[in-house]
Amino acid sequence: MAGTQTLSVTRLVRKMRNLLEIELGEVWVEGEVSNMRRQASGHLYFTLKDDSAQMSCVMFRGNASRAKVQPDNGMHVRLFGEVSVYEARGSVQLIVRQVEAAGEGELQARFEALKRKLDAEGLFAQEGKRALPNFPKKVGLVTSGTGAALQDMLNVLGRRAPWVQPVLYPVQVQGVGAEVGIANAIEAWSTWHENGLPEVDVIIVGRGGGSLEDLWNFNEEVVARAIAACSIPVVSAVGHEIDFTIADFVADMRAPTPSAAAELVVPDGTELIRKLQRYHSGMQRAVEGRVRQHEALLVSMRRGSLSMSVDRVLREPLQRLLQAGKDLEDSLERGLLAKTQQVELMKQRYATVHPEVLIDGRLERLEHRRVQLEQVLRRRIEKAEQLLQRQGSLLRALGPESAFERGFSITVTEEGRLVRSIEAVESGEVLVTKLRDGSLRSVIE
């Protein structure tokens, strides 16, 4: 139609972009992520959809690297960004600046994202898990030094295996930055010879139960990677049976509670003694059965025509067999006695290195140091008082009070300015003369 303005495609698309950016501006949009494409440059391209519509989204590298929640296919998210038009294709897109999990908490979203990441790296693979030692001598405990979880584990270890020595590495298990302390403790024990720590056979990392926020330090990546890189088998015992953390998936074994972890890492001493007794009884019955078989065979052979010759031939082997049975029985008794003595010795050693004994010794040394410090402070205070008295005497001897006693006086103006010469005063000015026992006011004429 004549007189009607015709727009180029570029101008039309640009008008569309300007209209969207001005009218809508920055908005929050909620939907499901699909068609996720992660570019080598770090940019993210994906589609946000709901039941009735969808739109293209782009999240550039800077915003993507800073995002706490990384969008992925199937995630339900809330996106904050600017609606614009990609001019090259004339398509509407959302330029995303911020991502939040929708429908599930941010912490749960971070948990699932880190779980997928570490699982993809193979940190959860069963073939990488190490078996726990059957008879550990020392067990490392990475937990709070004041928590109930520590007492639970010490009670279980003392009851089941008193010969095992528990070694505590106290850490903060909750709050900002606690994950760094936990990871540092695990890394320090991984290289125990370089950090002056005792060598342990297995490590228990854990704490008591709590909310997702309370247990979150055990969901941090730094703790997971420290466990995965540890040279010593690690048992994760965080929270209660229903609680799962990233540390549980990475550790060589997961225990539902700290007490259960202590039961997993050490054998039951009472049950070991019972097994030894059962083995002893079984071997004794087997030997006695063989002896009875041979005795019956000998009786049968004696009844035959070769009874005399058999008796002569088998007399010495029979004696050796009986002696072997007795020696075996004596050996079993000596072995059982040795194991019993070893258990008692381990109990005595455990009593000397119990944390309560060590803490009492250190408290005693601390009290001795406190007494020494009080004595040193008392001597220094006495010296300071003597010095103060000498300085006071010297000040009184050299100060203005001594001059007043000798008949001298000081004259100042009302403003407190010292009068050193008659030229410094004027007629009518008021002066104050200070004497030993008071002061005089005078007027210059």
Q: What is the pTM for the complete model shown?
A: 0.45
pLDDT at 310: 57
Task: Say whether both 143 and 218 belong to one domain.
Answer: yes
Q: Which domain holds residue 298?
A: 269-352
Q: Which helix (H) or strand (E) holds 37?
A: strand 26-38
Q: What is the DSSP letter of 130?
A: P
Residue 308 inside a domain? The answer is yes
| 269/275 Cα distance (integer angstroms) | 10
Residue 382 inside a domain? The answer is no
pLDDT at 400: 67
Task: Say whether both 96 and 79 belong to one domain.
Answer: yes
| 80/97 Cα distance (integer angstroms) | 6
pLDDT at 154: 93
Task: Say whether both 258 and 274 belong to one domain.
Answer: no
pLDDT at 429: 86
Of 331, 352, 373, which marks where a domain is finished?
352
Residue 358 inside a domain? The answer is no
Query: What residues have CB less than 8 Å from 291, skipping those under 6 apart?
Result: 321, 322, 325
Task: Say whether both 33 and 91 belong to one domain.
Answer: yes
Block means of pLDDT (10 residues each) for the chain, 445 residues, are: 73 83 84 91 93 92 87 86 87 90 67 89 89 92 91 92 92 90 93 90 90 83 93 91 87 92 88 83 85 81 58 71 82 85 79 74 87 91 90 75 74 85 83 84 87
Residue 364 inside a domain? The answer is no
pLDDT at 156: 92
Residue 162 inside a domain? The answer is yes
Of 231, 265, 299, which marks where a domain is finished?
265
Domain count, the chain: 4
Q: 262 to each of 118, 236, 268, 342, how far by Cα in Å?
A: 27, 11, 11, 21
pLDDT at 399: 66
Of 240, 265, 290, which marks where a domain is finished?
265
Query: Per DSSP, which regions of 223-270 are E strands?
Result: 234-238, 253-254
pLDDT at 313: 64
Q: Which helix (H) or strand (E) holds 344?
A: helix 307-352
Task: Say whether both 178 and 220 belong to one domain.
Answer: yes
Inter-residue contact 224 to 123 (CB < 8 Å)? yes
Task: Say whether both 290 and 254 belong to one domain.
Answer: no
DSSP string of 144-168?
Answer: -SSSHHHHHHHHHHHHH-TTSEEEE
Task: Say whether both 432 and 337 belong to one domain.
Answer: no
Task: Say whether both 150 and 256 belong to one domain.
Answer: yes
